[in-house]
C-alpha cells in the first residue's frame, strides 16, 4: 500500500511503499524546474537506509547528480515509455560520505 509522506524541504510528495519486500520511497520530479529535482533527490537519498530503495521519476537522467552520490549509492537508469526516466538508487554501505547539503548544479547535466 502506497503511503504519502512529508520530507522536510522537499518540493514534491514522496510515497513510501513495499515493492518486492523492499521498503521503497518514490517521487516524481519530472515537472519540476531547476534546481528542484536535485534538492528532492538529495533529500530522498538522505532518507533511505540499507536495504531500502529510492525511485526518482524525472524528465531526463540527472547527470549532475550522479558524481555527487556515486561513492555511496548504486543507481540504475531506465527510460520509460512516456519519455521520462526512472532512476532507482540503493545504498552501497551504512556510512555515507555524500554531502547532502550540496544540492546545487554546475549547469551541465543538471537534474531538471
Q: Give the model confidence (pLDDT) of 48-78 as tens digits.
A: 999 999 999 999 999 999 999 999 999 999 9
Q: How many domains does the chain have?
A: 1
Which of 30-39, 64-73, 102-111 has the lowest average pLDDT?
102-111
Q: What is the pLDDT of residue 108?
A: 42
Asked whether residue 99 is domain-assigned, the answer is no
Task: Name the residue range of residue 16's domain.
Answer: 3-91
Higher pLDDT, 98 or 52: 52
Predicted TM-score (pTM) of the model is 0.87
Find, among 47, 56, 61, 60, the residue nearest to 91 by Cα.
47
- CATH code, 44: 3.30.110.40
Asked whether residue 40 is domain-assigned, the answer is yes
- Distance of alpha carbon 69 from alpha carbon 31, whole angstroms: 22
Asked whether residue 108 is domain-assigned, the answer is no
Asked whether residue 57 is domain-assigned, the answer is yes
Asked whether residue 31 is domain-assigned, the answer is yes
Asked whether residue 63 is domain-assigned, the answer is yes
Asked whether residue 38 is domain-assigned, the answer is yes
Amino acid at each position: 500500500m502506497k503511503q504519502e509522506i512529508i520530507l522536510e524541504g522537499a518540493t514534491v510528495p514522496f510515497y513510501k511503499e513495499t515493492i518486492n519486500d523492499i521498503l521503497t520511497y518514490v517521487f516524481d520530479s519530472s515537472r519540476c524546474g531547476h534546481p528542484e529535482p536535485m534538492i528532492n533527490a538529495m533529500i530522498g537519498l538522505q532518507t533511505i537506509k540499507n536495504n531500502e530503495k529510492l525511485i526518482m521519476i524525472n524528465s531526463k537522467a540527472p547527470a549532475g547528480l550522479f558524481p555527487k552520490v556515486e561513492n555511496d549509492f548504486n543507481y540504475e537508469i531506465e527510460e520509460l515509455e512516456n519519455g521520462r526516466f526512472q532512476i532507482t538508487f540503493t545504498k552501497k554501505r551504512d556510512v555515507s560520505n555524500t554531502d547532502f547539503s550540496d544540492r546545487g548544479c554546475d549547469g551541465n547535466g543538471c537534474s531538471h
